[in-house]
Structure formats: structure tokens, C-alpha cells
């Protein structure tokens, strides 16, 4: 028997329904990839020197003649460049934000995470459907069979440095805010566990002359951290320690931080790491995580929720979590009190006191 095809329903259009948001997000990868290409070409670093004409930019970046005007004017329309003039004599320059955050020669450069997005994550996210259906990572782990993502990230010196630059880039605003806001007056030592290139220790040392800092990470990362610390002339205030926090325990310290560490791992591994921190703290000591902590209702911090999907792409069992989750794990570990400190944008600190 044939069934009649149901005619599509005629939607009732109310004046308030606006498709702009759907289109903006749905087609957002156009804008995203344009910015990532500009960062990858180091356009903002070039323009930090002085304003340039479209032709000068074309030549410097090695662009084909077909679309370079569109490329530059998209960046104007999106608010990343300013243009004076409209004809052949038009000049392009950075906006204040692009100049501050996207010039590779400035210490405030956060383009490391955008470079890594361009070179790795953008491609891997195109397999999100597969990740959602299989629960498996969609990055290098798919082919490599490595035990953890770090074995792949650190397989050559260039990708090691790119990864560490990306990590400190995305966290820098939060590190600075924490170093300025947290009350260090009861403490004299600070350990950053999984501290990568040492950027967090640098901020704590710069803001708190009385605090002695240790940057702890895998042995392969230690030389990069030593370089960063020496670059800031802080070698007398910050030392490095190499080890594996799943096998070697953590050095003792009054304050122990983990920035974007717990979200890399399963719930059992998270609890194990929190116990390592607990054991290494004195009574009254503080364990601090700095992550894109998801709001308890799981409906507001879109970046934190997206970060959790990024953990699906990048790790075997990692996921991001709410402050309530952290509070529950902290009490299970033995901590007596927890606190929450908003830092920069979607990133905050969750603190557990022993
Ligand atoms: C996602 S990155 C976070 C880096 C930095 N804390 C931040 O907030 O940007 C994770 C860090 O954990 C380190 N790590 C991974 N496994 C580790 C292990 N088993 N022992 C010590 N450090 C480890 C990595 O080398 C890397 O620096």
C-alpha cells in the first residue's frame, strides 16, 4: 500500500525569529579559517612594523592575484584589520587587539593556539561526527597507536615547541589574572605540575618576589621550560623538576597548580592526580586548577563545553567538568574546603584547601 507523502508544514513565521545566529555559527568556519590562515602567514606580525598596501602584503605573503583583496577585506569586515582608503592606494594596518595579541614578536602573542588550530585541530575537528559515534580520539592517536597524545605531540622538537606555545598562549590571560588575584601571603612555595614551558611560574614569580617556584613536567619538556625561565632572568627564583606525575609523585609545595591537566584524563586518573597533589601539600596548602571550568548548569560556558569536545578529539578519556564535579572530587580526596575564582574569559580557577 502506498502512503501519501506528507506535505511540509508551513512554518508560522513570527517577527522575532531571526536566522542570523544559525548562519553565523553554521558558517563560522569560513571566518575562523580566514583568521587562522592570516595568523599562519604571520600577516599581523608583518603589519606590526607599519601599515602596508594590498600589493605589498600580497608579495610578502606570496598570495595569488585572484583573492587577496577579498582575503584582506574579510579581515577588515571581521574587525582584525583597519583599512584607510578604498582604491589601489588603500593601506591596511592592525587593530589594537591584533597588534597586541597576534604579533609574534610581542610577549603578549597568543597566536600559538591559533597556529596549532590551523596546523592540527582544524583538520581533526572535521572528524567530530566519527568521534561522537565511536568515542575515540580523532587526532594523531588514530594512526599512531601511541599510549598518550603527548607521545605524538613530542615526537619532534618543532611540534613539541608548537604545542607548548599553544598551551601557554591560551592560558596566559588566566595565569596573569591568577597571579594578581590569589592571596599568596600565607605561602612561600609554588609548584606548577605539568607546567609546560614555565609560563605560569614566570607570572607568579614576577608578581610575588617572596615565592619560590618549581615548574614540574616530563623530562623532554624541561629544556624548553629552562629556556623560558632564563629568558625572563628568573632562574634564581624558578627551578625545574622533571618527572612523571603518574609514577613519581609530586615534589612538596605550599601551593600546587595544574593548568589544563585534569581535563586530559579519565575520572579515575583525575582523582589519582588530585591525591598526588593532596599528599604533597602541607595542612592549609592549596591545590589550584586553571581550566575552562563549565558552569554547574552546563548551559552557559560554551567554550568550556567545546573544550570538552576538544578533549574527545585529542585524548583517549579526557573531559572537562563543572565546579560541582571538582568540589565532589576534592572532598572525596580529603580536601576540606573549595573555592572558585573567575579569571579571564571562560577560564577560572577551582581551588581546594587541605
Ligand atoms: C595540556 S598541557 C597544559 C600545560 C600548562 N599547564 C597549561 O596550563 O597551559 C599538559 C601538560 O602536562 C604535561 N604532562 C603530560 N603528562 C605528564 C606526566 N605523566 N607527568 C608530568 N607532566 C605531564 C605535558 O607535558 C604538558 O605540559
Ligand 1 close to Cβ of residue 260 (< 6 A): yes
| pLDDT tens track for 288-299 | 999 999 999 999
167-353: CATH, from 3.40.50.1110, 3.40.1110.10, 3.40.50.150, 3.40.50.720: 3.40.50.150
Ligand 1 close to Cβ of residue 137 (< 6 A): no
Ligand 1 close to Cβ of residue 246 (< 6 A): yes
Protein residue closest via CA to atom 20 of ligand 1: 244
| pLDDT tens track for 221-277 | 999 999 999 999 999 999 999 999 999 999 999 999 999 999 999 999 999 999 999
Ligand 1 close to Cβ of residue 259 (< 6 A): yes
| pLDDT tens track for 61-101 | 999 999 999 999 999 999 999 999 987 789 999 999 999 99
Distance between CA atoms of residues 267 and 325, nearest Å = 10
Ligand 1 centre and the CA of 327: distance in Å? 22
Protein residue closest via CA to atom 13 of ligand 1: 194
Distance between CA atoms of residues 202 and 198, nearest Å = 6
* Residue 37 cell numbers, joined: 590562515
Distance between CA atoms of residues 282 and 335, nearest Å = 11
Residue with grid cell 629544556, as numbered in its chain:
223
| Catalytic residue of the set 21, 64, 263, 331 | 263
Q: Where are the domains of the chain?
A: 21-102, 167-353
Secondary structure string (H, E, C) spanning the chain: CCCCCCCCCCCCCCCCCCCHHHHHHHCHHHHHHHHHHHHHCCHHHHHHHCCEEHHHHHHHHCCCCCCHHHHHHHHHHCCCEEEECCCCCCEEEECHHHHHHHCCCCCCCCHHHHHHHHHHHHHHHCCHHHHHHHCCCCCCHHHHCCCCHHHHHCCCHHHHHHHHHHHHHHHHHHHHHHHHHCCCCCCCEEEEECCCCCHHHHHHHHHCCCCEEEEEECHHHHHHHHHHHHHCCCCCCEEEEECCCCCCCCCCCCEEEEECCHHHCCHHHHHHHHHHHHHHCCCCCEEEEEECCECCCCCCCHHHHHHHHHHHHHCCCCCCCEHHHHHHHHHHHCCCEEEEEEEECCEEEEEEEC
Longest Cα–Cα distance in the chain: 85
Ligand 1 centre and the CA of 244: distance in Å? 10
Ligand 1 close to Cβ of residue 218 (< 6 A): yes
Give the angle subtended at the CA of 320 by the CAs of 319 and 325, to the nearest 5°: 110
Ligand 1 close to Cβ of residue 150 (< 6 A): yes
Distance between CA atoms of residues 145 and 140, nearest Å = 9
**Average predicted confidence (pLDDT) for the chain:** 94
Pocket mutation for ligand 1, best pick of 170, 198, 217, 272 (most atoms within 8 Å of C-beta): 217
**Number of C-beta neighbours around residue 217 at 10 A:** 24
Total-model pTM: 0.92
Report the CATH number of the 21-102 domain.
1.10.10.10
| pLDDT tens track for 309-337 | 999 999 999 999 999 999 999 999 999 99
The DSSP bridge partners found for residue 192 are 215, 257
* Sheet bearing 212-217, strands edge to edge: 238-242, 212-217, 189-193, 255-259, 286-291, 347-353, 337-344
- Provide, rounded to the nearest whole percent, the portion of the chain with pLDDT above 90: 86
Distance between CA atoms of residues 308 and 265, nearest Å = 11
Known catalytic membership, residue 331: no
Amino acid at each position: 500500500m502506498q502512503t501519501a507523502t506528507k506535505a511540509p508544514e508551513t512554518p508560522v513565521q513570527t517577527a522575532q525569529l531571526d536566522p542570523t545566529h544559525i548562519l553565523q555559527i553554521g558558517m563560522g568556519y569560513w571566518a575562523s579559517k580566514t583568521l587562522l590562515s592570516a595568523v599562519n602567514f604571520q600577516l599581523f606580525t608583518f603589519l606590526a612594523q607599519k601599515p602596508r598596501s594590498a600589493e605589498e602584503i600580497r608579495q610578502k605573503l606570496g598570495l595569488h592575484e585572484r583573492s587577496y583583496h577579498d582575503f584582506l577585506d574579510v579581515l577588515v569586515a571581521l574587525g582584525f584589520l583597519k583599512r584607510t582608503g578604498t582604491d589601489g592606494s588603500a593601506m591596511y594596518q592592525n587593530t589594537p587587539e591584533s597588534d597586541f595579541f597576534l604579533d609574534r614578536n610581542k610577549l603578549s602573542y597568543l597566536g600559538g593556539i591559533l597556529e596549532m588550530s590551523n596546523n592540527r585541530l582544524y583538520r581533526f575537528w572535521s572528524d567530530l561526527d566519527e568521534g561522537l559515534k565511536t568515542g575515540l580520539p580523532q587526532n594523531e592517536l588514530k594512526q599512531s597507536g601511541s599510549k598518550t597524545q603527548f607521545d605524538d605531540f613530542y615526537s619532534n622538537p618543532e611540534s613539541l615547541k608548537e604545542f607548548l606555545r599553544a598551551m601557554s598562549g591560551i592560558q596566559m590571560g588566566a595565569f596573569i589574572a591568577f597571579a594578581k588575584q590569589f592571596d599568596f601571603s600565607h605561602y612561600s612555595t609554588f609548584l606548577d605540575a605539568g607546567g609546560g614551558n614555565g609560563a605560569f611560574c614566570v607570572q607568579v614569580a614576577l608578581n610575588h618576589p617572596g615565592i619560590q617556584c618549581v615548574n614540574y613536567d616530563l623530562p623532554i619538556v624541561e629544556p624548553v621550560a629552562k629556556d623560558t625561565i632564563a629568558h625572563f632572568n628568573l632562574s634564581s627564583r624558578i627551578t625545574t623538576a622533571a618527572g612523571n606525575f603518574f609514577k613519581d609523585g609530586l615534589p612538596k609545595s605550599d601551593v600546587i597548580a595544574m593548568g589544563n591537566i585534569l581535563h586530559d584524563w579519565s575520572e579515575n586518573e583525575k582523582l589519582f592526580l588530585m591525591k598526588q597533589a593532596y599528599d604533597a601539600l602541607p595542612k592549609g596548602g592549596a591545590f589550584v586548577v586553571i581550566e575552562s571550568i563549565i558552569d554547574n548548569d552546563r548551559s552557559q560556558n560554551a567554550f568550556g563545553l567545546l573544550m570538552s569536545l576538544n578533549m574527545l578529539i585529542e585524548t583517549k578519556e579526557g573531559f572537562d567538568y563543572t565546579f560541582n564535579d571538582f568540589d565532589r572530587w576534592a572532598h572525596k580526596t580529603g580536601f576540606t574546603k573549595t573555592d572558585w575564582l573567575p579569571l579571564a574569559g571562560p577560564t577560572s580557577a577551582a581551588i581546594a584547601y587541605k
